[in-house]
Amino acid sequence: MEIIDTNPKQRPGLLTTLSILSFIGSGFGVLNNIFGMIMSPIKNFINPDLFATALDGIHDVYLRKFVGEALEMGQKAIAHIFEISLTQILLYVASLIGAILMFQLKKTGFYIYTIAQILLLFVAPIFIGFNLFVNMAILFGSIFTILFIALYAINLKNMN
């Protein structure tokens, strides 16, 4: 005699909402970074002197330092655009796989998603280094990362 479960586990509304938001966010992340990889050859046509001349008209010491740091970060980002984009594509795909697994109520998806999201926070510092702008991006990015991981963790009891 076969036992049929007439009351299968229902996916909570919060988990469904989080998963859909993660599908959207990870999907945009993948598309955005594919575009970055496609556009990466353009970096060969950017004149490095363009960045130096941008500082010529700034005379305020603090503003010059602020803009100089932003330009330096921009140069490093442009120099590593292919590597940054490829790394982020892989992590966003992992994040998407994790979200799909959690949508299917599989606990392993939580761990895949969590690792991918935490690693995404550190892609910029690895290739660009730490500075004011990168630190602010990590700070603001970590707010959503922590929030989503915490909300997914609340739903772990509903996953197998």
**H helices within 7-155, ranges in order?**
13-39, 49-54, 61-79, 81-103, 108-121, 123-128, 132-154
Q: 55 pLDDT band (50/70/90 cuts)?
A: confident
Residue 85 to residue 68: CA distance in whole angstroms:
24
Residue 40 contacts by C-beta under 8 Å, 6 or more apart in sequence? 81, 82, 85
Question: Does residue 68 or residue 89 have the better pLDDT?
Answer: 89
The reported pLDDT for the residue numbered 99 is 96
Alpha-carbon distances of 3 from 6, 7, 72, 104, 158, rounded to whole Å: 9, 12, 65, 22, 21
| Chain mean position to CA 87 | 10
Indicate whether this model's pTM tops 0.95.
no
Question: Does residue 91 or residue 37 have the better pLDDT?
Answer: 91
Over the stretch 72-116, which tens digit does the pLDDT of each residue have?
888 888 889 999 999 999 999 999 999 999 999 999 999 999 999
